[in-house]
Amino acid sequence: MADDEAEEVADDSPDSNPNQGEDQVAPAEFPDLGGAGEVVSGGSAKPNLDLIRDIQVTLTVELGRTDMVIEEVMGLTPGKVVELDKLAGEPLDVLVNGKLLAKGEVVVVDENFGIRITSIVDPRARVQALGPDAEAAEAEPPAEAGGQ
């Protein structure tokens, strides 16, 4: 019996197992998303938007912007007017999580400000605004996990 235990210990030694210390690689397993995309004519998948409908986003309406040096910011006082880069009457930017989605005009709803959407930004323009990496990712389908 002692000889059997000695053999097991010897089998676990670094010299006897050349793969010891290396990470074991296993294929990834993903949960079934229950029809996350329906296949439509032409073989493309139609996204299931029900999966993301309850995700919270921040909608911001931007009146305008300007650049200032710290000295100017420190000099701001009540009554000081700051000139912005938008003209009076020009449509305001509607941003969702910081990305331009639409243009609109200011309205008053009861005693609150609101915005009337006047135009939606073209989806291709939104992708271009994300940068060249996003355009390439949009144009090329993702590579398969096993292929190179």
pLDDT tens digits, 111-139: 999 999 999 998 887 777 666 665 554 45
Quick: pLDDT tens for 42-80. Answer: 656 677 788 888 999 999 999 999 999 999 999 999 999
How far apart CA 104 and CA 86 sit, in angstroms, is 13
Report domain extents, the chain. Answer: 46-140
Superfamily of 46-140 according to CATH = SpoA-like (2.30.330.10)
How far apart CA 145 and CA 27 sit, in angstroms, is 9
